[in-house]
Structure 1
Amino acid sequence: MKPIEFSPARPFPLINDDEHTYQEAQEHSVVVDEWLGFKTAEVEKALITSEAYNVQADENIPVNFWRGLPVQALQTPYTEIRQILEILKPQSGEHIVDLGCGYGRMAFVVGLHYPEVKFTGYELVEERVEEGNRILKKFNYPLSEIKTQDLTDRAFTPVEADYYFIFDFGSAPAVDKTLEDLKSIAKTRSIQVVARGRYIRHRIFQSHPWLSEINEPQVYDHFTIFKS
């Protein structure tokens, strides 16, 4: 296989999984991050020694800040994001929410290829949100925003949307709290949930039949699409 070539005219290419390896997708994402101007390595290095993330807001729902991991382990490759969006085919006026968005990679793919679709990203770590918004300001994507938010906050419920993207972001209680929030939203409207990672998918199949058994899920190597 050939490495994924980067082009400023085509920064988020739509390519099939069998045309590249996962490592090549990650390597391509490193180049895209550099082109966009991200300084994620500096941010993550500072987070390791930060005292601000040593306290749990709710001892009953453990929170994982995912500090000390390689940046590429925290984020979905741009090519995979593009693939997911191509499958979903969001329409003008619809809304995508990323629950645990990291630096907000999806905001840039949505902004470029789906400019009439609204994007909201929630991320627990404020420094990541600030860095994502710093880069986002360079582009004219008025429908995209990244917000600092603890998803485990009992007073918080995600905004109503058409699509929700969830990566493996925490403990079983944390994941269950978010899925119960989505269950409440699904009582009034149909939603699609893109679950990325083994744990979140296992949890949905194991404990959330309202999402896994109503409609046949679309299963892919790295993610599964559920529809309420």
Structure 2
Amino acid sequence: MTQAQKAFGDLLRRGPSLFSDLQLLNTQHLAEIYVLAAFTQTAIPFITESHWLYRKQNGAAPILPIFLESLFGKELARISFFRAYLEEIELKGFKELKEHLHCLEVALIEYIRTRPAPEQREFSRSSLLQMSALFAEEESWQPTGISLYRTFDRLDEVFELNYEADAGMKIETIDGGERLYEGAGVGVQSGYSTVLTALNHLQLCDSARFVDLGSGYGRVGLVVGLLRPDINFVGYEYVPHRVHISAKTAERFQLHEHVKFEIQDLSLAEFSIPEAEVYYLYDPFSEETYKYVLDQLIEISRRRSIVIVTKGNARKWLLDVAARENWSQPKQYDSGNLCVFRTRSA
């Protein structure tokens, strides 16, 4: 058992009265505890629901330790050190445990936000590394296991991604048809699972160029910047206040030398998408803009090999293009939410 795991167990056994002791732990330990707290919050309802389904299908309630055996060999392996406590409190104690987990996560994030920017940066990077390992494990138990898609969204608070900035947003467009996702909040961002799973599978070379077409509040760029300081990232976003927020965090975390965010209407004829090794699209455009952007990516792909990472409906648009341009068969990850297209060598 690691020191962070021991501290995690102690904090939960004694409850919120002990949360002030967070200041006694170093940044790496706090990151591990954050990931454990967020993950276990997601795991608790999964255990409860799985137990209920087993009882319904088999007509009898299984003994909890026996029931948990298979889960700790798979989905719950990350918290196997915590198994004895879960068996001790049984299902009747899960509600209070979940409340304590929520309070711990909130208290930890609030504490980290009071720390200097370098500590916040290290906390975020350490958390992302552990999250990345968890998402790699998740691929082995999907689609029937625990879904971690929104488990770690509270990390946005450390990044200071203020989605309330969209409130009352009024932006005029030339044709009135651009898709801006007004008021979509965290929904305007790719999930951490999507971004980290993409990085796990892309295996990008040093000094690769990464372009995000429709970067929203910049979550993709901040993750890439923290984990791959060797990669040059640029994110283009139509909405100015989203760019300002993401650029401010990049500067605060000293990522601004290799992570850039720019205000850009991608539908403008005078704008040319720069050449890069990787392009990321999260269903960000109207149909007309999609056609214009894809035409440019196709032209680039005819000159050089590129990778296009898609999320959401962007995959549908690219499937026809891939077949027509004789690209490699796309790979799907994250329960089909993420699709990676690799073009043929020029």
Normalising by structure 2, report the TM-score. 0.58
* Contact 1:162 1:190 survives alignment (8 Å): yes
- Partner of residue 223 from structure 2, selected from 79, 92, 109: 109
Q: 1:181 aligns with which of 291, 296, 299?
A: 296
The answer to whether the 8 Å contact 2:163/2:186 transfers is no
Unpaired stretches in structure 1, ≥5 consecutive residues: none
Sort the Cα spacing of 1:216 and 1:103 in 2 relative to 1 into closer, same or farther, 3 A.
same
Give 1:186 deviation, angstroms. 1.2
DSSP-derived class of the 1:62 partner? coil
State which of 194, 215, 221 in structure 1 corresponds to 2:328.
215
Percent identical residues: 23
Structure 2 CA distance, aligned partners of 1:208 and 1:124?
A: 27
The alpha-carbon distance between structure 1 residues 208 and 89, as it changes in their structure 2 partners (threshold 3 A), is closer
Decide which moves more: 132-141 or 96-105.
Answer: 132-141
Aligned residue number for residue 95 of structure 1: 209
Per-residue CA deviations over 1:55-107 (Å, capped at 9, x if unaligned) read 322x3x931111122x1211012232111111101121110100001011112
Structure 2 unmatched ranges of 5 or more = 1-38, 43-100, 109-122
* Correspondence 1:67-82 to 2 at 5 A: 67-69=182-184, 71-82=185-196
Distance 2:218 2:324 in 1: 28
Cα distance, 1:174 vs structure 2: 1.4
Letter in 2 for 1:158: I
Are 2:41 and 1:3 aligned? yes
After TM superposition, the score normalised by the length of structure 1 is 0.85
1:136 aligned onto 2:250: yes
Distance (Å, rounded) in 2 between the aligned partners of 1:116 and 1:139: 15
Aligned to 2:28: none
- The one of 3, 13, 25 equivalent to 2:149 is 25
SS at match of 2:246: helix
Distance 1:35 1:110 in 2: 16
SS in 2 for 1:190: coil
- Note if contact 1:92-1:117 (Cα within 8 Å) is conserved in structure 2: yes
Distance 2:299 2:321 in 1: 15
* More helix, by proportion: 2
Instruction: Write the distance in 1 (CA, Å) between the matches of 2:239 and 2:150.
Output: 22
For residue 157 of structure 2, what is the amino acid of its counterpart?
E
1:117-167 CA distance string (max 9 Å, x none): 110100010110011111111112211100011111111121110000001
CA shift digits 1:13-58 (9 cap, x unpaired): 2123348755x432412x11112222222x11142xx3xx1x322x
Structure 2: how far apart are the matches of 1:86 and 1:107? 15
Counterpart of 1:36 (choices 134, 154, 159) is 159
Higher strand share: 1
Aligned partner letter, 2:328: N
Opposite residue 88 of structure 1, the aligned amino acid is L
Measured on the aligned residues, the alpha-carbon RMSD in Å equals 2.3
Q: Deviation digits for residues 180-224 of structure 1, max 9, x if unmatched?
A: 111111121100001110x2111122355345x421110221011
| Farther-moved stretch of structure 1 (5-14 vs 188-197) | 5-14
The total of aligned residue pairs comes to 215
- CA 1:80/1:207 → structure 2, altered by over 3 Å: closer, same or farther? closer
Q: Name 2:173's counterpart in structure 1.
A: 56
Equivalents in 1 of 2:41, 2:272: separation in Å? Answer: 41
Please say which of residues 170-179 and 112-121 is displaced more in the overlay: 170-179
Structure 1 residue identity aligned to 2:270: A
Within a 5 Å distance, the mapping from 1:118-197 to structure 2 comes to 118-141=232-255, 142-197=257-312
Contact 1:63 1:170 in 2 (8 A): yes
Flag the structure with more relative contact order, 1 or 2, with Cα contacts below 8 A and sequence separation at least 6: 1
